[in-house]
Amino acid sequence: MARKVMHAVWYTGYGGGAAGLKHVEIPIPSPCKDEILMKVEAASINPIDWKIHNGFARPVLPKKFPFIPLSDVAGEVVKVGPGVKKFKAGDKIVSTLGGPSAGGGLAEYVVAKESLTVPRPREVSAADGACLGIAACAALHSLTVTGGLKLDKTKPRTNVLITAASGGVGHYAVQLAKLGNTHVTATCGARNIHFVKSLGADEVLDYRTPEGAALKSPSGQKYDIVVNCTTGIPWSTFKPNLSPTGKVIDITPSGGTFWNCAVQKLTFSKKQVTPLLVNPSAQEIGFLVKLVKEGKLKTVIDSRYPFSQAEAAWAKSIEGHATGKVVVEL
Ligand SMILES: NC(=O)c1ccc[n+]([C@@H]2O[C@H](COP(=O)([O-])OP(=O)(O)OC[C@H]3O[C@@H](n4cnc5c(N)ncnc54)[C@H](OP(=O)(O)O)[C@@H]3O)[C@@H](O)[C@H]2O)c1
């Protein structure tokens, strides 16, 4: 490869929002034994990316400054390390670089582990593929691993509630839940009710209404599984809406979530809340890529930004009003 340097966007300290991002020119990284050098075509933003920048996991994350954010990427293989068996230069791929703590994706080139990379069929665009890491894996893991939902129609019906169903995680969760034998209730803002219904939700509540805030199913369902993708809903609101063995999977856990979870375990409560932090795996991403290829799952992109406007994409995600995913394209 003739080029030695690349454009990247990094931040050098905590805070500062979009203004804290800086465009720089730095050396192109080299892949080690089991690594792939990827030319990035698209990277998606997850709220955890800017939460780390805000100091949410200070001083543990990021591991060091300067830090290039974004971990969910799709692109093309440029070069592989000597131990890489499954990929060669020119292959189209999707990779999660090792969860949000890894970073590196907001750059023209990034090194990805072979073990966290999957092939990208031509039916899956770079932008669509780049969104499938943290967001879609959180939806899949919540429903199937923690929630125990089977994504086929052979099991008894499960009542599912998905909060913030219009967001990056929620819009995948609604579609994935509907692959099972489910009745899906969803919450979102009024402007997205039709959108969330179009994803397959059976009933949708506006979260700004009293009924929506109370999470009450209009048809009187009691929820077996809740995937909570928003913040600020107390256990006392979830509890009366759960079936006798209903479970809340909280992907935005607070101290109260951990406390309630511990108390419920000690008291053998059948209704439970489970905090969940997902680390995407290649197996899960591969499964999701296959669903997209087969037309069973779609990525909805709120907005696409060129690399030169990465700060605007960052600001858009921070606003918290995306419908679907925010993507940076290179
Ligand atoms: N634990 C994990 O492994 C994990 C993984 C991924 C994400 N997360 C976390 O999960 C949360 C959601 O992530 P995301 O990517 O889906 O965020 P997002 O895309 O930024 O979510 C934005 C959407 O949420 C809606 N919304 C906001 N507050 C709401 C409420 N109270 N009720 C219903 N809808 C509401 C907004 O609608 P309006 O515009 O109408 O307000 C908007 O459409 C974030 O806190 C993120 O950090 C955790």
- CATH number of the domain that residue 229 is part of: 3.40.50.720
Instruction: Specify the amino acid at residue 6.
Output: M
Residue in 93, 106, 108 with CA at minimum distance from that of residue 35 = 93
List the CATH number of the domain containing 23: 3.90.180.10
User: Would residue 286 count as lying in a domain?
Assistant: no
Statement to judge: residues 32 and 119 lie in one domain: yes
Mean pLDDT over 172-198 rounds to: 98
State both tokens at 49.
């990316």
Q: How far is the CA of 46 from the centre of ligand 1 (A)?
A: 9
Q: pLDDT digit string (tens) for 230-251?
A: 999 999 999 999 999 999 999 9
Q: Is the pLDDT of residue 7 over 80?
A: yes
Q: How confident is the model at residue 1 (pLDDT cuts 50, 70, 90)?
A: confident
Statement to judge: residues 20 and 97 lie in one domain: yes
Q: How confident is the model at residue 65 (pLDDT cuts 50, 70, 90)?
A: very high
Statement to judge: residues 75 and 54 lie in one domain: yes
Closest CA to ligand 1's atom 2: 277
In this prediction, residue 242 carries a pLDDT of 98
Helices assigned H by DSSP within 141-297? 168-177, 193-198, 210-213, 235-238, 255-266, 282-293
Query: Sign of the CA dihedral 163, 250, 58, 129?
Result: negative
Least confident of 2-6, 167-171, 176-180: 2-6
In this prediction the pTM is: 0.98
Q: pLDDT digit string (tens) for 131-151?
A: 999 999 999 999 999 999 999
Q: How far is the CA of 252 from the centre of ligand 1 (A)?
A: 9
Statement to judge: residues 212 and 187 lie in one domain: yes
Q: How far is the CA of 51 from the centre of ligand 1 (A)?
A: 13
* List of residues 6+ apart from 330 with CB closer than 8 A: 39, 40, 41, 42, 43, 75, 108, 306, 307
User: Would residue 283 count as lying in a domain?
Assistant: no
Statement to judge: residues 163 and 208 lie in one domain: yes
Q: The tokens 């068996």 sit on which residue? A: 85
Phi, psi of 87 (to 5 degrees): -130, 155
User: Would residue 294 count as lying in a domain?
Assistant: no
CA distance 36 to 280: 18
Q: Is the pLDDT of residue 2 over 90?
A: no
Question: Helices 310-319 and 47-54: crossing angle, nearest 10°?
Answer: 90
- Decide: residue 232, CB within 10 A, 0-12 exposed, 13-18 middle, 19+ buried: exposed
Statement to judge: residues 196 and 314 lie in one domain: no
CA distance 9 to 305: 14
Q: Which domain holds residue 235?
A: 135-275
Q: pLDDT digit string (tens) for 270-280?
A: 999 999 999 99
| Arithmetic mean of pLDDT over the chain | 97
In this prediction, residue 99 carries a pLDDT of 82
Statement to judge: residues 87 and 140 lie in one domain: no
Q: How confident is the model at residue 76 (pLDDT cuts 50, 70, 90)?
A: very high
Pocket test for ligand 1, best of 188, 206, 216, 248 (most atoms within 8 A of CB): 188
Closest CA to ligand 1's atom 5: 138
Sheet holding 223-228, edge to edge: 203-206, 182-188, 158-162, 223-228, 242-250, 272-275
- Count structural domains, the chain: 2
Mean pLDDT over 260-266 rounds to: 96
User: Would residue 232 count as lying in a domain?
Assistant: yes
Instruction: Specify the amino acid at residue 159.
Output: N
DSSP string for residues in 212-244: HHTT--TT---EEEEEE-SS---HHHHGGGEEE
Q: Determine what percent of the chain is predicted with pLDDT higher than 90.
A: 97
Q: Determine what percent of the chain is predicted with pLDDT higher than 70.
A: 100
Q: Which atom of ligand 1 is nearest to the CA of 46?
A: 15
User: Would residue 14 count as lying in a domain?
Assistant: yes
User: Would residue 293 count as lying in a domain?
Assistant: no
Q: How far is the CA of 278 from the centre of ligand 1 (A)?
A: 15
Ligand 1 interacting residues, C-beta cut-off 6 A: 46-48, 134-135, 138, 163-164, 166-170, 187-189, 192, 207, 229-230, 251-252, 276-278, 317, 320-323
For residue 316, give the H/E element and its range: helix 310-319
CA distance 86 to 114: 8
Mean pLDDT over 153-171 rounds to: 97
